[in-house]
Amino acid sequence: MAKNKNNQAIWRTRIKKKTSTLFQRVGSSIDIDKRLYKEDIAGSIAHVEMLLKQKIISFKIKNKIIYGLQKIEKEISKNKFEFNNKYEDIHMNIENKLFQIIGEDAGYIHTARSRNDQVITDFKIWIKSATKEINLNLDQVIKSTIKIAEKNIETIMPGFTHLKNAQPVSLAHYLMAYVEMFKRDKRRFINNLESLNESPLGVAALTGTSFNIDRNYTAKKMGFSRPTNNSIDTVSDRDFVLDFLFSISVCSMHISRIAEELIIWNSDGFNLIHLSDKVVTGSSIMPQKKNPDLLEYLRGKTGSTFGNLFSMLTILKGLPLSYFKDLQDDKEIVFKSNDTLVNCLKIFNEILKNILPNKKKMYELADNGYITATDLADYLVKNHSMSFRKAYQKTAEIVNFAEKKKKKLKDLKIEELKKIEPKLTNDVLKVFDLKNSVNSKKSYGGTSFVNIKRMISKYRKKS
């Protein structure tokens, strides 16, 4: 069987000297981009089928090439393929192997294409399926969050602003806030599919090709909706990479926020949740400790995903058109970010299954800090026709009085309240009740139990 001459890199006819070992090591990306082998083979098959349809290659050669490619795919998936640094990347490794399997006819595969369009074709297909996997993981997280929310519609806790007690809320409402974020994350990933749906194959090195190729045909074969419009832009464009990295960063940021939230709630000061032993770790010196390390891991990993987004932005900044070696790093960056996020989503889902809210502590904490003061102000507006500013002032006086007396608002006597606002009657006392406060927020999107129930059942139907 004919071999690629001396089993050398393909450009050996022009470049006579052996690449320095050091350069071979840094220039090769095979250890990273071998992950694209399936996409690369699918792209090559679509390409040669198109070459046949356009009568650029013969039926026999097309069949030989596809036979060889399928053999290579099997070998790689069975871990029997030997990747070689000498051939730089996945494209050259596969092409070289094709020479070994089918001989000189392998030389037809690269007609009317370049590695420049080949690599982004592979990469776009890969990111499309990675997007689907991320969204499946997000679905799991959403499901688990809703599950806790369902059980805690009537669990009352303080809603915070500035980490100070602000107004009482339902724990379910709080958790459903994160469901909104994760749903937005899903949508952000889905929105990216639009630009991922344009096929780069056929723009060749940067100018397009003089062969009579059919880019619409290859686009459809590989599951894209249409070809890209400008060959120079296509080989230089990594906006789709940025979109993916940005979406990953935002999603990690959401995970990091809830992780931080849960770390605070788990602290001895707050003690609002209990984490099961499955998701905590001990200390090597302090025997009493049970630390929320996994949550800290999630919070910390956001640093990597943000960093990866910034690496890619920086690589692209100031890079003229069109292809440069600088771009080769895009795959390592994307794979790292993707793996980190998928890992974090799985860990987070596990944590969600191991959280127990401390309902009593949540209620007790909510019962502090004059948390129903706004309800009193609203009551004055509604029942004693005051302007909100006037009612705010009156309420502030009542809070000052309670503070001086070291009493909670609900413990004030009606006579004491009347001294500050004579119009008040016994009826006012109900506004200090936490459950009443939560349930009164019936405006759309508010924390009342009915609202939450409605939202939960709407989201359960959808997912």
Helix, strand, coil shares of the chain as percentages rounded to 5? 65, 5, 25
Q: Which residue in 42, 85, 127 sits closest to 312, CA to CA? A: 127
Give the pair of three-digit tokens for residue 88.
């730089």
Burial status of residue 382 (CB atoms within 10 A of its CB: 0-12, 13-18, 19 or more): exposed
Residues of this chain, 8-67, that bind ligand ARG according to CB under 6 A: 29
Q: Interacting stretch for ligand ARG, rule CB under 6 A, among 4-12, 216-224, 274-282, 320-328? A: 320-328
Q: Hey, is 183 helix, strand or coil?
A: helix
Q: How far is the CB of 29 from ligand ARG (least distance, A)?
A: 5
**Residue holding tokens 């592979």?**
122
Q: Which of 112-120, 182-190, 355-363, 364-372 is the region at the interface with ligand ARG (rule: CB under 6 A)?
A: 112-120
Distance in Å, CB of 63 to ligand ARG, minimum: 27
Shortest separation between residue 239's beta carbon and ligand ARG, angstroms: 16
Nearer to ligand ARG, 313 or 396 (CB): 313
How far apart CA 270 and CA 283 sit, in angstroms, is 20
CB of 42 to ligand ARG, least distance (A): 17
Q: Are 41 and 72 in contact (CB under 8 A)?
A: yes
3-state secondary structure of 161: strand
- C-alpha separations of 22 from 27, 85, 293 in Å: 8, 11, 40
Q: Which of residues 73-92 bind ligand ARG (CB under 6 A)?
A: 89
Instruction: Using CB under 6 A, pick the residue from 327, 355, 417, 424 that binds ligand ARG.
Output: 327
Q: How far is the CB of 435 from ligand ARG (least distance, A)?
A: 60
The residue (of 237 and 375) whose beta carbon lies closer to ligand ARG is 237
Query: Whose Cβ is closer to ligand ARG: residue 155's or residue 328's?
Result: 328
Of 164 and 325, which has the nearer Cβ to ligand ARG? 325
Can you tell me whether residue 4 is helix, strand or coil? coil
Q: Taking CB under 6 A as the rule, does residue 115 contact ligand ARG?
A: yes
Residue with Cβ nearer ligand ARG (89 or 95):
89
Catalytically active residues, by annotation? 162, 283
> Of 279-318, which residues contact ligand ARG (CB under 6 A)?
none
Cα-based angle 442, 443, 449 (whole degrees, multiple of 5) = 30
Which residue stretch of 57-65, 140-148, 282-290, 323-331 sits at the interface with ligand ARG (rule: CB under 6 A)? 323-331
Tell the residue number behind the tokens 């959403």, with chain if given: 142
- Rounded Cα distance between 113 and 438, Å, is 63
Q: What angle do CA 345, 90, 191 make, to 5 degrees?
A: 40
Selected from 116, 228, 256, 358, the binder of ligand ARG by CB under 6 A is 116
Minimum distance from CB of 66 to ligand ARG (Å)? Answer: 22
Residues near ligand ARG, by CB under 6 A: 29, 89, 115-116, 119, 323, 327-328
